[in-house]
C-alpha cells in the first residue's frame, strides 16, 4: 500500500514554487526548463486548475490558504512531497511515462517539452538531507563580509536529536560582538521545539508574557489501553490535563505548570538589530515565534504572511499515534489555543512585505534577504 501511494513514477522531474498563481521552475528543469520558467500546461491541464483541484486536500489552520499553497510546492525539503502524492493520486501516471508540458522560458520564448516522470528515489536524490536525529548541526551560520550574520534554521523538529543545538546556538550568539546585525531565516521552517525563544531571551530587557489565550485539552490522562500506541518525547503529556479545569463542550483549560508562561531576559544580552525572514511555511512553533517576535519590539519581520492562525492553532504537545495492525502513524496535537480577543482568521503579516517575483527566481535573486540586509545597514 505504501508503495502504491508513495513510490509510483508519476512525479514532475523538476522543483517549483507558486508565484502569484503561476507554477515557476526553481531547480532540476535542465536545459528545457531553466530556473524561472513558467509552466503553462501539464498534460493539457493548466497549473492553476491543478492547484485548485489539489488545494482542498492540503491542511492549514483555519482558512489560511497561503499555507495550503506552500504545501503544494516542491522545494526539495521534504522526504515525501505533499504535491507529489496527491498529484499522482488525482492525475495518475502520464501517458507513456512522459509529462507533456508547455512553458514560457525566462527569455520570453514558449516551448513544448516532454519530460520523463520520476519516482520517489529520484525525487529524494534532489532533496537536501538533514538528520534531525543525529548529533551534527542541521542549521547554517554565515558571517557575511558586510558584518551581517545569517542564521538559517530550516527546521526545529529536534525532539529526538542528539545534537546540542542550544549550546551551538548560544556559542554563535556569543560571537556577535561588533556585528552589524543578525538575519534569522525561517522561511522553510514549519516548526518543532521553541528554539527561537533562545534568541528572543537574548534580546529582551523585560519578561515577555505569552499572549492572553486559553490553552484547552480534551483529556485529563490517557487511558492505559491506548498508551502502547502513543509515542512522544515527554511522558508528562500523558497526564497533561490532570490539573485542568473543566469547561464547556468537553474541553479542559490547562492550569498551573501547563498554564501560561513567559520568556525571561537572558544574562548575556544582545543589542544589535535583528531581522527574521518568514512566510507561509511557518506554523506551530515558527508561527508562534513570529507572533512573539512582533510583540517583543526587538525583531523586524520580512517576507510574506505566515501560516498558522491568529484565531488559534493546535500544537505545543503531540502524540505520534501508531496503529498496531497497519503500522500507519499520524500526529495528534493535544493543545488548542483560543485567544481571548477577536482577531483575524489569518497568519502574521510581516512588518515589511516582500515577495519574490518570477524574474527574481530567474535571476537567482533573494529580494527578502536583500531587503532585510538593507534595513540592518540603515538601522546600524
Q: Same domain, yes or no, for 153 and 269?
A: yes
- Contact yes or no for 114/98 (Cβ under 8 A): yes
pTM reported for the whole predicted model: 0.91
Burial class (CB in 10 A: 0-12, 13-18, 19+), 378: exposed
Residue 34: DSSP 8-state: -
Quote the pLDDT of residue 268. Answer: 95
Letter string b/e over residues 316-332, b meaning 16 or more CB atoms within 10 A of that residue's CB: bbbbeeeeeeeeeeeee
Burial class (CB in 10 A: 0-12, 13-18, 19+), 57: middle
Q: C-alpha cell of 265? A: 531576559
Q: Cell 490553552 belongs to which residue?
A: 215
Q: Same domain, yes or no, for 315 and 175?
A: yes
Using CA atoms, how far apart are residues 61 and 309, in angstroms rounded to an integer? 6
What is the number of structural domains in the chain?
2
Quote the pLDDT of residue 91. Answer: 96
Stretch (H or E) spanning 316:
strand 314-322
Q: Same domain, yes or no, for 160 and 293?
A: yes
Per-10-residue mean pLDDT, the chain, length 380: 88 97 97 97 98 96 95 94 96 96 97 97 93 96 98 95 98 96 98 95 94 88 96 94 94 73 92 97 94 96 97 88 93 90 94 98 98 94
Q: Nearest to residue 155, comparing CAs of 224, 93, 75?
A: 75
Q: Same domain, yes or no, for 20 and 148?
A: no
Quote the pLDDT of residue 37. Answer: 98
Q: Which contacts qualify for 52-60: CB closer than 8 Å, 24 or more apart? A: 53/90, 54/83, 54/86, 54/87, 54/90, 57/86, 58/82, 58/86, 60/283, 60/307, 60/309
Q: Same domain, yes or no, for 116 and 215?
A: no
37 beta partners = none
Question: Would you list the DSSP string of 57-70?
Answer: GS--STT-HHHHHH
Q: Nearest to residue 37, comparing CAs of 94, 115, 102?
A: 102
Q: Same domain, yes or no, for 72 and 148?
A: no
Does 133 map to a domain?
Answer: no
Q: Same domain, yes or no, for 88 and 219?
A: no
Q: Same domain, yes or no, for 113 and 204?
A: no
Q: Same domain, yes or no, for 108 and 221?
A: no
Residue 270: DSSP 8-state: -
Q: Cell 531565516 belongs to which residue?
A: 185
Does 65 map to a domain?
Answer: yes
Can you give the CATH number for the domain in which 68 is found?
A: 2.30.42.10
Does 324 map to a domain?
Answer: yes
Task: Write phi, then psi, for 13 (nearest 5 degrees).
Answer: -80, -5
Q: Same domain, yes or no, for 162 and 90?
A: no
Domain span holding position 21: 2-124
Count of residues making up the chain: 380
Does 132 map to a domain?
Answer: no
Q: C-alpha cell of 274? A: 535583528
Does 129 map to a domain?
Answer: no
Rounded to 10 degrees, what is the CA torsion of 295, 296, 301, 307? Answer: -50
Does 151 map to a domain?
Answer: yes
| Residue that terminates a domain, selected from 124, 149, 164 | 124
| Residue that terminates a domain, selected from 91, 124, 157 | 124
Does 342 map to a domain?
Answer: yes
Amino acid at each position: 500500500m505504501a508503495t502504491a501511494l508513495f513510490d509510483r513514477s508519476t512525479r514532475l522531474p523538476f522543483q517549483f514554487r507558486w508565484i502569484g498563481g503561476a507554477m515557476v521552475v526553481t531547480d532540476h528543469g535542465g536545459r528545457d526548463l531553466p530556473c524561472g520558467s513558467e509552466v503553462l500546461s501539464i498534460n493539457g491541464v493548466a497549473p492553476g486548475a491543478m492547484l485548485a483541484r489539489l488545494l482542498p486536500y492540503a491542511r492549514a489552520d483555519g482558512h489560511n490558504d497561503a499555507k495550503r499553497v506552500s504545501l503544494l510546492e516542491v522545494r526539495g525539503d521534504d522526504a515525501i512531497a505533499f504535491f507529489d502524492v496527491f498529484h499522482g493520486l488525482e492525475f495518475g501516471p502520464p501517458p507513456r511515462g512522459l509529462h507533456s508540458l508547455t512553458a514560457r522560458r525566462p527569455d520570453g520564448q514558449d516551448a513544448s517539452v516532454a519530460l520523463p516522470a520520476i519516482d520517489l528515489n529520484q525525487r529524494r536524490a534532489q532533496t537536501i538531507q538533514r538528520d534531525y536525529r543525529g548529533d551534527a548541526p542541521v542549521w547554517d551560520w554565515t558571517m557575511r563580509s558586510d558584518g551581517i550574520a545569517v542564521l538559517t534554521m530550516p527546521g526545529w523538529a529536534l525532539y529526538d536529536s542528539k545534537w546540542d543545538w542550544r549550546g551551538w546556538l548560544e556559542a554563535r550568539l556569543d560571537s556577535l560582538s561588533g556585528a552589524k546585525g543578525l538575519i534569522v531565516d525561517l522561511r522553510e521552517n514549519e516548526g518543532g521545539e521553541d528554539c527561537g525563544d533562545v534568541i528572543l531571551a537574548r534580546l529582551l530587557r523585560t519578561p515577555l508574557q505569552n499572549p492572553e489565550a486559553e490553552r484547552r485539552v480534551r483529556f485529563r490522562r490517557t487511558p492505559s489501553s491506548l498508551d502502547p500506541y502513543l509515542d512522544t518525547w515527554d511522558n508528562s503529556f500523558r497526564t497533561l490535563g490532570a490539573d485542568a479545569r473543566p469547561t464547556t463542550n468537553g474541553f479542559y483549560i490547562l492550569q498551573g505548570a501547563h498554564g501560561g508562561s513567559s520568556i525571561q531576559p537572558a544574562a548575556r544580552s544582545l543589542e544589535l538589530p535583528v531581522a527574521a525572514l518568514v512566510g507561509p511555511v511557518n506554523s506551530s512553533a515558527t508561527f508562534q515565534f513570529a507572533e512573539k517576535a512582533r510583540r517583543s519590539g526587538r525583531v523586524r519581520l520580512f517576507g510574506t504572511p505566515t501560516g498558522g492562525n491568529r484565531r488559534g492553532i493546535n500544537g505545543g504537545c503531540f502524540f505520534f499515534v501508531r496503529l498496531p495492525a497497519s503500522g500507519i502513524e499520524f500526529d495528534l496535537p493535544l493543545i488548542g489555543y483560543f485567544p481571548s480577543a477577536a482577531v483575524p482568521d489569518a497568519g502574521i503579516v510581516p512588518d515589511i512585505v516582500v515577495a519574490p517575483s518570477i524574474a527574481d527566481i530567474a535571476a537567482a535573486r533573494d529580494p527578502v534577504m536583500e531587503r532585510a540586509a538593507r534595513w540592518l545597514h540603515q538601522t546600524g
